């Protein structure tokens, strides 16, 4: 359990830390890779005793599972090992790049996703991890997105693999629906028509991810990314996902599916081998070679011996990654990967070239190097299968072509001017040398590995090794001594074009997808414009309404003000006209009354006498009548 967590969490946390901090990316990356490797080793040891499981909460009735059987633990170990040493190499390769942090962070996130895919115990987890590695591949291929052609290559790769992922979705949902559970081991018990259909769907998915014909072109375009990316993703891990898928579901696949897988793999092996031979760029040659090798693995699966495919996968991981690392060193020297540019680069770095040569010979199938044993197993499987008449010639042709293009590569690298002395590249050398050692020596561990996985390969007789050796040496010789133009003859031009048919994947997949996307974008723009227009109209209408309301309010307040003014004026007028008039009138009347009253004060005695008499009379009356009333 702890190793399981360590395997997944170490790269995840270091990747997130690098992306967050953007400091000391190499140290954090190496720390994360080392811890992940420790976790994977521990996990392998634990899994060889018994299956290690972890259940995580997921969808209702479909929890996420991580399961470490010997098979998945081995794959996890492979991923962790290659990742660790490629990251060591990348420390030197990306030394001068200003965006190292982004690179290392994304690489570690990819490693996490790959481990998640490899250790997935249920289809939902696998699907999620599948998507994640595709996305990480997109980010990493397009790492130098400022350069011409890189962005389109990344988009192309993403779209091709994405279109093939449809097969995985359909297959997975079919399996879940039929089996009733999302656990992979549970779904492997299906038989009959659903198994066949599901198998074909899964084959489509594998074709996409593992760059099988007709979807092989994206892998070559993916070489636009940095070399460590090519070494990790596009040789050992991401392209292995397709093969891993088929290996894990092999118990379920019925004969028809197996036959289809084998045919597809064989055709790929041959066609991409021819393309590799015609290639003029080293990395693209190696990419085509990768597709070819995976074709051979599919042949083995199709022949019914998935263990052979697994062994070849492990061997190929070490071999191809070391080949890419070597190519990266030469690219570093010559600032380019074209075979013309790299002519003679091997001479300047004998050590690196030695490693490259060892890996190349291993790939060609020279004993006692690793791929000899796995290639023999594949040929033996093809020989022993029921579809031998189809599979065997394809497998043999593929093997021959392997040797041929590797020989050619070796020749180009060796023949030519050495150029000036080169600065030593310690990190790159260390990373590469470990993988070369693995490439050389893994073959001897295959016996123990078979024992751990519980699947023994029947030891073939002497004929298969002889055939294998013959095709390997023969191929190398052909490649060394003869130019591709002579070997391919009329097939040279089509091979150089990648055998495009009817516009190829561009016309079938890429352009339709992009035009649909453009149409959707235009529709959305119109929708947005309509929405904005609506909102604007509504807003303006509302604003106008509010403005009118405000105007009314304003008029109303003005009216109130006028009423107040009128009230004030009325009050003032009342004050001046009524109250003042009343008061002054009162004053006037009082004055008039006083003027009239003044006349009483005539000063004339007789008048005053008369008044006195009248007053006396009044007093008498009052005095006489008052007692009656009071």
Partner 1 sequence: MILELMIALTAGAAMFGTGLYGALSQTNLVMIIMGVELILAAALVNLVAFWRYLHPEEPAAQMFVLIIMAVMAVEMTVGFGIAIARFRSRGSVEMEEARELKG
Partner 2 sequence: MTVQMIFLVFFGGAAVWFGIVVFRTHSMVRSALALLFSQTAVGLMFLVMQAEFLGVLQIMMMATEMSVMAIFMVMFMMDPGGMGAMDMTHQKRLSLWAGGIGLAAALAVIWLADWGPIGTDIPGAAQQTADLGRELLGRSMFIFQSVGLTILTAMVAATMVAIAPAKEQPK
Q: Site residues (CB under 8 A) for partner 2? A: 606-607, 610, 613-614, 617
Nearer to partner 1, 564 or 601 (CB): 601
Give residue 510's Cα distance to chain centre.
Answer: 18
614 binds, among partner 1, partner 2, none (CB under 5 to 8 A by kind): partner 2
Nearer to partner 1, 1 or 592 (CB): 592
Nearer to partner 2, 45 or 614 (CB): 614
Nearer to partner 1, 423 or 594 (CB): 594
Where residue 525 falls (left for φ over 0; alpha for ψ -120 to 50; beta otherwise) is alpha
Q: What is the H or E stretch that residue 288 is in?
A: helix 282-302
493 binds, among partner 2, partner 1, none (CB under 5 to 8 A by kind): none
> Taking the CB of residue 208, how many other CB atoms lie within 10 A of it?
24
Which residues ranging from 566 to 605 are in contact with partner 1 (CB under 8 A)?
598, 600-605
- State whether residue 216 is helix, strand or coil: coil
626 binds, among partner 2, partner 1, none (CB under 5 to 8 A by kind): none
Residue 328: half-sphere exposure toward Cβ, Cα within 13 Å: 29
Angle, helix 100-118 to helix 25-49, in steps of 10 degrees: 10
Residue 195: half-sphere exposure toward Cβ, Cα within 13 Å: 17
Check binding of 5 to partner 1 (CB under 8 A): no
Nearer to partner 2, 544 or 607 (CB): 607
Nearer to partner 1, 532 or 593 (CB): 593
605 binds, among partner 1, partner 2, none (CB under 5 to 8 A by kind): partner 1
Q: How many residues contact partner 1, by CB under 8 A?
A: 11
Task: Report the nearest approach of partner 2 to the CB of residue 594 (Å).
Answer: 23
Nearer to partner 2, 21 or 619 (CB): 619
> Taking the CB of residue 250, how many other CB atoms lie within 10 A of it?
22
Task: Report the nearest approach of partner 2 to the CB of residue 630 (Å).
Answer: 21
- State whether residue 65 is helix, strand or coil: strand
Place of tokens 């594949």: 378
- Residue among 98, 462, 489, 606 that touches partner 1 (CB under 8 A): 606
623 binds, among partner 1, partner 2, none (CB under 5 to 8 A by kind): none
Q: What is the H or E stretch that residue 86 is in?
A: helix 70-93
DSSP 8-state code for residue 64: E
617 binds, among partner 1, partner 2, none (CB under 5 to 8 A by kind): partner 2
Phi, psi (5° rounding) for residue 9?
Answer: -80, -30
Task: Report the nearest approach of partner 1 to the CB of residue 609 (Å).
Answer: 6
DSSP one-letter string for 93-150: HTTT-TTHHHHHHHHHHHHHHHHHHHTB-BHHHHHHHHHHHHHHHHHHHTTTTTSTTH
- Residue among 27, 613, 620, 621 that touches partner 1 (CB under 8 A): 613
Residue 449: half-sphere exposure toward Cβ, Cα within 13 Å: 23
Our CA dihedral for 15, 20, 24, 30, rounded to 10 degrees, sits at: -10
Task: Report the nearest approach of partner 1 to the CB of residue 610 (Å).
Answer: 5
Task: Report the nearest approach of partner 2 to the CB of residue 598 (Å).
Answer: 18
598 binds, among partner 2, partner 1, none (CB under 5 to 8 A by kind): partner 1
Nearer to partner 1, 59 or 613 (CB): 613
Q: Please give the residue ranges that form the binding site for partner 1 (CB under 8 A).
A: 598, 600-606, 609-610, 613
């Amino acid at each position: 359990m702890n190793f399981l967590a360590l395997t997944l969490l170490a790269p995840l946390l270091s990747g997130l830390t690098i992306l967050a901090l953007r400091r000391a990316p190499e140290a954090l990356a190496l720390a994360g890779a080392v811890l992940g490797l420790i976790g994977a080793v521990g996990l392998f040891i634990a899994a060889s005793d018994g299956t290690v499981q972890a259940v995580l909460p997921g969808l209702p009735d479909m929890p996420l599972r991580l399961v470490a059987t010997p098979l998945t633990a081995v794959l996890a170990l492979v991923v962790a090992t290659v990742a660790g040493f490629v990251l060591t190499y990348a420390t030197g390769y990306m030394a001068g790049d200003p965006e190292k942090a982004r690179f290392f962070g994304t690489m570690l996130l990819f490693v996490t996703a790959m481990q998640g895919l490899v250790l997935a115990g249920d289809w939902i987890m696998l699907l999620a991890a599948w998507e994640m590695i595709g996305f990480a591949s997109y980010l990493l291929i397009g790492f130098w997105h400022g350069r011409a052609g890189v962005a389109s290559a990344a988009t192309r790769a993403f779209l091709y693999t994405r279109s093939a992922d449809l097969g995985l979705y359909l297959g997975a949902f079919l399996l879940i629906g039929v089996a009733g559970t999302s656990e992979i081991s549970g779904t492997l018990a299906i038989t009959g028509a659903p198994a066949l259909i599901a198998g074909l769907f899964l084959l489509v998915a594998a074709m996409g991810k593992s760059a099988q014909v007709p979807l092989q072109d994206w892998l070559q375009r993916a070489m636009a990314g940095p070399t460590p990316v090519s070494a990790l993703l596009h040789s050992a891990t991401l392209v292995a996902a397709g093969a891993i898928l088929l290996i894990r579901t092999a118990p379920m696949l019925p004969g028809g599916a197996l036959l289809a897988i084998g045919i597809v793999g064989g055709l790929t092996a041959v066609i991409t081998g021819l393309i590799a031979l015609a290639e003029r760029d080293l990395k693209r040659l190696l990419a085509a070679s990768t597709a070819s090798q995976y074709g051979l693995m599919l042949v083995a699966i199709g022949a019914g011996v998935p263990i052979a495919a697994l062994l070849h996968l492990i061997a190929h991981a070490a071999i191809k990654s070391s080949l890419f690392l070597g190519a990266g060193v030469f690219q570093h020297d010559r600032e380019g990967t074209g075979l013309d540019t790299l002519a003679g680069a091997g001479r300047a770095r004998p050590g690196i070239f030695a490693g490259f040569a060892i890996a190349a010979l291993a790939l060609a199938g020279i004993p006692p190097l690793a791929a000899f044993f796995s290639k023999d197993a594949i040929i033996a499987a093809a020989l022993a299968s029921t579809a031998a008449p189809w599979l065997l010639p394809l497998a043999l042709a593929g093997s021959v072509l392997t040797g041929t293009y590797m020989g050619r590569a070796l020749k180009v690298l060796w023949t030519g001017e050495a150029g000036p002395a080169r600065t030593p590249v310690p990190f790159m050398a260390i990373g590469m040398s470990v993988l070369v050692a693995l490439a050389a020596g893994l073959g001897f561990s295959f016996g123990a590995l078979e024992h751990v996985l519980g699947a023994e390969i029947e030891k073939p007789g002497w004929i298969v090794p002889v055939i294998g050796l013959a095709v390997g040496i023969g191929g190398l010789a052909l490649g060394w001594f003869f130019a591709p133009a002579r070997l391919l003859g009329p097939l040279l031009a089509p091979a150089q074009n990648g055998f495009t048919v009817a516009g190829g994947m561009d016309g079938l997949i890429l352009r339709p997808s992009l035009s649909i996307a453009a149409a959707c974008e235009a529709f959305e723009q119109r929708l947005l414009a309509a929405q904005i227009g609506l909102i604007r109209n509504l807003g303006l209408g509302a604003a106008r309404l509010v403005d009118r309301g405000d105007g009314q309010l304003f008029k109303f307040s003005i009216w109130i003000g006028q009423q107040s003014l009128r009230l004030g004026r009325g009050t003032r007028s009342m004050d001046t006209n009524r109250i003042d008039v009343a008061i002054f009138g009162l004053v006037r009347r009082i004055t008039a009354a006083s003027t009239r009253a003044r006349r009483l004060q005539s000063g004339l005695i007789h008048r005053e006498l008369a008044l006195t008499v009248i007053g006396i009379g009044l007093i008498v009356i009052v005095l006489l009548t008052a007692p009656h009333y009071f």
